[in-house]
Structure formats: C-alpha cells, structure tokens
Amino acid sequence: MSVINVSKRMAVGLFITIGVAILIAAVFVVGGQHKAFVKSIHLHILFDNVQGLQTGNNIWLSGIKVGTVKSIAFSGNSQVAVTLSIDKQAQPHIRKDSKCRISTDGLIGNKIIVIDGGSDASPMVENNDSLPSEHLAGTEELMSTLEKSNNNLLEITGNLKTISKRLTESQGTLGQLINDPAIADRLKGSLDNLRNATAGSEAMIANLRAFSQQLRQPGGLANTLATDTTVFSHLRGAVTRLDDAAARVQAFSNSLQTAGAGLNDKNAPIGLLLHDEDAADNLQRTLKNLRVSSQELSDDLEAIQHSWLLRGFFKKKDK
C-alpha cells in the first residue's frame, strides 16, 4: 500500500509541476505579445471617432509593432481619449509633431493605430505626452461618398444622353452648327475675320510698344516733350503765337478779298480806273499834262534864276 501511495503522490506532483510550467509559459507568451514585461511609456491621443478601436489593438510605426492600446475613454462631450503603451525602444523614433491615425490591419482586419515618425527638427516624445490625431475617412464614409459619386455619375450620363440626342436631331444652335454646312462655313469666315483682326491688333500693339520705348528713350524728341516742362511751355507758347498769326492772316485775307471786290466794282474809284477806258485815258492825259507843266515850271524857275533882278539873291543862297 505504501508503494502505491508513493506512486500516486509522485504522479500528482508531476502533474502539478507540468501544469505550473505550462501556466508560467502561457503567462510569458501572453505577456510577451502584450509587452507586459517590456519597459514602456504612455502617450495620449484625442479622436473624434475611434471607428471600433478596442483595448489591446496594436500600434504600428513604419510597419513595426511598437505597442498596444492601453485604455479608451470618453473625453468631454464627443471626443474619445486613447492611451497608448509604447515600447521604450521606439521612443527615439517618435517626435512631438508625429500624427496618429486609425487604420485597418488588412482589408477587413482589426483596427490599429498608425504613428507617423514626424520631422527631425521636432524633439523626441516624453512619457505622458499628447500627440495630434489625423482623421481619415472610414468605410462608411467611403461608401457614402461612393454612393453620391454614383448618383452624380448617373445624372451626368443622363444629361449627356439628352445632349447627344439633341445634337443628332439638329436641335439647338450647336446641333444646327454640327449638321448645317452653311452655318459652319459662315462660322469659319467669322473666325478668319477674327484672326485677321487679331493680327492687326497685334501689329498695332507692337507699334505702340515701339513708340512707348522711343518715349522712354532719354535724349529723344518725344521723351523731351513728355518729360521737359520747359520745352512743353515753349511749345505751347509757339502754338499760341501760331494761332495769333493764323488769325492775322485770316484778317489780311479778308481785307484782300474786300479789296478784290472793290477792284471788280465799276462804281468804286479804283474799279472805275481799271474797267473804264475813258477814265483811264483822262488819267493818262492828266498825268502827261502834269509832267509837261512841271517841266515848263522848272524852265521858268531856271530863267528866273538868271534874270538880273534875282541873280544876286540866288548867288548869296548858293554861297
């Protein structure tokens, strides 16, 4: 009986020892998966929607698992505070400006948190730091957006169908333009005219540009007229004098016109002399008589000077 009891006790002890070993191994395996025996730091994130994220979900950094979600709790009215347990070995690779977003492990896998490494200029995170969150559209939002896009696509397709039908049936201006050669020819002619007008406009613009360059060129007449106020004042005075001269020329022309009218008027004295032959003959005879009389008067005066009565008087006058 004693040998049997000893065997039973040994069997029970071996069974208990194996169970304890399995339990310890399981604890280490589970603890290793959840990094229970690894030094870690805690980081905090605020999300508007965690999209089904649960405690214990993995945290990835550059495709490497660096921690797990420790806790999820409400913060304020509508936000959710998520606490991360991060492996301390990954701390140097996470910066204070690193952004966190909720993603999916595969197409339909569990939710995970993905951390962006951040910029090198930002310092390394410390324990209990808070990181900014980045919102990405979830599956429901993507499906809703896709449904709206499909509805818009159907509406656009229907509109295109209606437009193509009207074009085929030559309805509207565009349909007539496509199916009526005469309208197309007139439109082509209009385009040619527009092209010619555009070419003329370009030439005019080029001329204006060249003229403006000449205006800006120092030393030129145009630049001097545009920039030198003294020259402009002189030019304005010259224009004023030209206006006065033109007015005097106009008055002189009017006088000549009046005189010309008097020359053509037979009742005027000068007109009578020009057009009446008898008056011209009388005037000619008068002038001849005056010349003869003046000659005779000169002879008489010469004779008087040599007369004995006044000879002494004229000699004294000559002296």
For residue 66, give every residue at least 6 positions away whose Cβ sits within 8 Å of its Cβ, in sequence order, or none: 59, 60, 86, 87, 90, 115
* Token digits of residue 200: 């003329």
Listed as ranges, residues in the chain with pLDDT below 50 are 1
Q: State the Cα–Cα distance between residues 52 and 86, nearest whole angstrom.
A: 20
Amino acid at 144: S
Q: Could you tell me the pTM of the whole model?
A: 0.38
How distant is the alpha carbon of residue 135 from its chain centre? 35
Q: At what angle do helices 172-179 and 139-168 cross, to 10 degrees?
A: 60
State the sign of the Cα–Cα–Cα–Cα dihedral 76, 119, 54, 26. negative
215, 220, 223, 224 alpha-carbon torsion, rounded to 10°: -170
Q: Would residue 147 be called left, alpha or beta, if left means φ above 0 and alpha means ψ between -120 and 50 degrees?
A: alpha
What is the structure's pLDDT at 83? 93
What is the structure's pLDDT at 192? 81
Q: State the Cα–Cα distance between residues 306 and 311, nearest whole angstrom.
A: 6
Please report, for residues 10, 30, 69, 73, 180, the alpha-carbon distance to residue 34 in angstroms, rounded to integers and kept in the order given: 36, 6, 10, 20, 78
Query: Any idea how long the chain is?
Result: 319
Edge-to-edge strand ranges of the sheet holding 40-47 = 100-104, 111-115, 58-61, 64-75, 79-87, 40-47, 129-131
Q: State the Cα–Cα distance between residues 264 and 267, nearest whole angstrom.
A: 9
Neighbours of 118 (CB within 10 A): 19
What is the structure's pLDDT at 229? 65
What is the structure's pLDDT at 226? 61
Q: Would residue 133 be called left, alpha or beta, if left means φ above 0 and alpha means ψ between -120 and 50 degrees?
A: beta
Q: State the Cα–Cα distance between residues 249 and 2, nearest whole angstrom.
A: 163
What is the structure's pLDDT at 262? 60
Neighbours of 82 (CB within 10 A): 26
For 238-294, write each residue's pLDDT tens digit: 778 778 877 887 877 777 677 666 656 666 665 555 566 666 677 677 777 777 777
- 8 Å CB contact between 76 and 93: no
Please report, for residues 33, 84, 245, 267, the alpha-carbon distance to residue 28 in angstroms, rounded to integers and kept in the order given: 9, 21, 120, 149
Q: State the Cα–Cα distance between residues 20 and 14, nearest whole angstrom.
A: 10
